[in-house]
Chains A and B, each alone.
Chain A
Amino acid sequence: MSDTGSSNGKQKSKVHPSGDDRYVALDRTMKRFHNEKDALLEVLHSAQETFGYLSEELLFYISNHLHVPLSQVYGVATFYHLFTFEPQGKHNCIVCTGTACHVKGSSEIVEKMSAVLSIPVGKTTEDGLFSLSTARCLGCCGLAPVAVINGEIQGKATPETIAKKVGLILADEMVVQDQEEAG
């Protein structure tokens, strides 16, 4: 990331205090840690929580405020799986691929969902409606295989039950779209 990038970042950061309210929450987190460099991970968490993903602007903003080189902010953020750098879909489906779910056939659920949504794992559909991802153990191995759709855990899942749930959500979205177009 070059100079042009960083000037871009500064420009943006001037607008924020007045413009985007979400930066208030981020500023609060940084203040709580007295803008210390050690708080980088906490600040990244807070940023992703409020903004949904870590945009380049956000990384610049954090780098400036914590006085941590951008390369380091980027290095830390990309090291951890939890952080994403792309906007996430409106709905999401997370399939557990932990050991217990694996031995009970979770890979078939992943394949099926990938086919239904026509996206690979870790991606979002083009219309921004659905994201598909995997997780390692959701802590209900007793009900394996497990998937989470919009935060709701689905135990003893099969490719069919999950595809059906997702299909219903997509159908609802269609209805909404049609209504919007019509009215």
Chain B
Amino acid sequence: MSRDKLDQIAEKEQARQSQFDKRVHCCISTACLSAGAGRTIQTLRDSVDAAPTGDEVEVVQTGCMGLCSRGPLVRVQEKSGEEVYYADVDSECAEELVAKTVSWDQAEAKQQELSPELQAVRDRLETARKKRSLKKHILSPDLPFFTKQFKVVLRDVGYVDPEKLEDYLAHGGYEALHKVLTEMSPEQVCDEMLRSGLRGRGGAGFPTGLKWGFVRREESDVKYVVVNGDEGDPGAYMDRTVMEDNPHQVLEGMMIAAYAVGANHGYFYIRAEYPIAVDRIRGAIRAARRHGILGKSVLGTDFSYNADVRIGAGAFVCGEETALMHSIEGKRGVPRMRPPYPSTSGLWGKPTVINNVETLASVPAIIKNGADWYAQIGTEKSKGTKVFALAGQLTNTGLIEVPMGITLREIVYEIGGDVPGDAEFKAAQTGGPSGGCIPNTHMDTPVDYESLQELGSIMGSGGLVIIDSTTSMPEFARFFMDFCVDESCGKCVPCRVGTVQIRTLLDKIIDGRGEPEDLDDLEVLCQLVRSTSLCGLGQSTPNPVLSTLRFFRQEYEALIPSSV
């Protein structure tokens, strides 16, 4: 299909949306759903049907709006674009919300014939109009939770209907893809990415433009693009949210990558624990095929591209790029030595770009707004924004996107709204089992790749868990070590045996049987596993232990009988 046809679809959808006086968005993403969003959206729909009003109101289901701990979340959007957020919207609140947002018209009420069910709803709305509890649910737009964020990747998440290609098009979808296909050479696209400063969001932070450039320069008839949607960090759900709530954005980024490197086929590798993400990505692929966005002649050009989905099967190590590719090939997901890197020998031995979901989801915005626009966000070496799944002992938990370089203090106290109750903020854990703990004495550390690394942690893929004074650090370290013992693939000795030894030492210390020299042994063992393991899993496994030893050594020492 040509660009004109897509423009027409986009315009038609925009016109359809703008006929409504009010659009009521209701989040039906996982957290809100489990807080009862299913009932909320039904009540909203019934109430809109029953309310006596001349207003045209549309109730729309959307993805995550960010403040997951206060779900179900609802947003009312006026024709003027003005928006109000409501939190904890149960059925009762939903009725009051509708009763007070629509213009109530008695004349209309007399005309309408209602079914007995809707009449009952109408009666309840009448009562709801007199209640005074709605105010409590309003979230002020001036809350730091909103003002401190900067949305690039999540810009449309929570606005578009993820199951509607038209809605994505109406939000400017596939414009970036069209731009690169018609106005830019593959080389220019790689250069643009390089200039933007975008670095891989899967953890390691490798410059995306550089990676694409390597694959572009490889001579090969067949090349692949792989989207890494394995999201292994147990306590994080950024990539899942983007895939579920705006799947076309990831597909578009993937296709731009494919054009830039000269690939005609690609795979989404999604973990099996994310069935909705799998469905939505598959749905997006089908819709794109139907509209000539995927296939032989993409948007009427001579670029051809196809994408498939492969499902993981619950192995953390499969997030590692070489293991992931083995898994796509139907084998055990065991990593191999690098080099050769996937850029020279990847899937089935062909040059392959493998990128994280969030990395690719950043691409359309960079192409549309330009590398310079992106490069001015963030710090000198870490450009752009980062999405975090903010969790743990905080008042506000959920999904946030912040400019790189923001301080932990701002995230914890302003966005997160501080630790609830009497407990005190103790540390922030980033990077999951491959990362470390940053103590509250380093609150003013800017969040960027280099600063976090200096503190013995990593940026990671975006898990950010806040712990308070009730958590014991040695036990927390053991929690991660348990995870790594389970997840070590067993191919190399330092990781397979070393992780078990580290855990045994931790057990000994935590059980109060430790001896003073154990702490030094622990450190030596960690260094050994770090420097001799084959893949990133083993190399980073010691991080949680080393970082807690560094900043919370006194907690370990306190557990050792003879040293006190």
Interface of A toward B, CB cutoff 8 Å: 37-42, 44-45, 75-76, 79-83, 97-104, 135-144, 146, 152-155
Contact = CB atoms under 8 A, between A and B. Distances in A.
B315 A79 contact: yes
A143 B34 contact: yes
A82 B315 CA distance: 8
Contacts of B35: 143, 155
B134 interface: no
25 contacts: A79-B332, A80-B313, A80-B314, A80-B315, A81-B315, A82-B312, A97-B234, A99-B233, A99-B465, A99-B479, A100-B391, A100-B392, A136-B273, A137-B233, A139-B237, A139-B241, A140-B30, A140-B68, A141-B389, A141-B391, A142-B31, A142-B67, A152-B34, A153-B33, A155-B31
Nearest to B467: A103
Given A76-B332, A100-B392, A137 B234 contact: yes
Given A42-B311, A45-B311, A81-B315, A140 B31 contact: yes
Residue from A41, A75, A154 whose CB has the most chain B CB atoms within 10 Å: A41
B329 interface: yes
A40 B235 contact: no
Given A135-B273, A141-B235, A143-B69, A39 B314 contact: no
Contacts of A103: 392-393, 465, 467, 471, 476
B237 A143 contact: no
Contacts of B30: 138-140, 153
A139 B234 contact: no
Residue from A39, A97, A142, A155 whose CB has the most chain B CB atoms within 10 Å: A142
Interface of B: 30-31, 33-35, 67-69, 71, 233-237, 240-241, 272-274, 310-316, 327-334, 389, 391-393, 397-398, 429, 432, 463, 465, 467, 471, 476, 479, 483, 489
Nearest to A39: B330
A103 B471 CA distance: 7
Given A82-B313, A99-B391, A142 B332 contact: no
Residue from B68, B312, B313, B315 whose CB has the most chain A CB atoms within 10 Å: B313
A100 B393 CA distance: 9
A79 B487 CA distance: 10
A83 B35 CA distance: 30
Given A100-B465, A102-B479, A153-B34, A142 B330 contact: no
A137 B465 CA distance: 12
Contacts of A100: 235, 389, 391-392, 397, 465
Contacts of A42: 310-311, 330
Contacts of A37: 330
A143 B394 CA distance: 11
B276 to A, nearest CB: 9
B432 to A, nearest CB: 6
Contacts of A137: 233-237, 273
B397 A142 contact: yes
A138 to B, nearest CB: 7
Contacts of B69: 142-143
Nearest to A153: B34
A70 to B, nearest CB: 15
Contacts of A142: 31, 67-69, 71, 391, 397-398
Contacts of B463: 99
A142 B69 CA distance: 5
Given A142-B71, A143-B35, 16 more contacts: A41-B310, A76-B330, A79-B333, A80-B333, A82-B314, A98-B235, A99-B235, A99-B391, A100-B392, A103-B392, A137-B237, A138-B273, A141-B237, A142-B68, A142-B398, A143-B68
A152 B35 CA distance: 11
Contacts of B67: 142
A141 B400 CA distance: 13
Contact of B330 (A38, A98, A104): A38
A115 to B, nearest CB: 20
A139 B240 contact: yes
Contact of B331 (A45, A76, A141): A76
A12 B71 CA distance: 51
A73 to B, nearest CB: 10
Contacts of A80: 312-315, 333
Contacts of A139: 30-31, 237, 240-241, 273-274
Q: Which 5 A-B pairs have the closest CB atoms?
A: A99-B235, A142-B68, A80-B313, A100-B391, A136-B234
Contacts of B311: 41-42, 45
Contacts of B476: 103
Contacts of A97: 234
Nearest to A83: B313
Contacts of A38: 328-330
A38 B326 CA distance: 10
Contact of B332 (A75, A101, A135): A75
A50 to B, nearest CB: 15
Nearest to B489: A79
A41 B315 contact: no
Nearest to A141: B391
A155 B88 CA distance: 14
B89 to A, nearest CB: 15
Contacts of A136: 234, 273, 316, 483
Residue from A41, A99, A104 whose CB has the most chain B CB atoms within 10 Å: A99
Residue from A42, A97, A102, A140 whose CB has the most chain B CB atoms within 10 Å: A140
B67 to A, nearest CB: 8
Contacts of B329: 38
A158 to B, nearest CB: 15
Contacts of B68: 140-143
A44 B313 contact: yes
A139 B30 CA distance: 7
A136 B482 CA distance: 12
A87 to B, nearest CB: 19
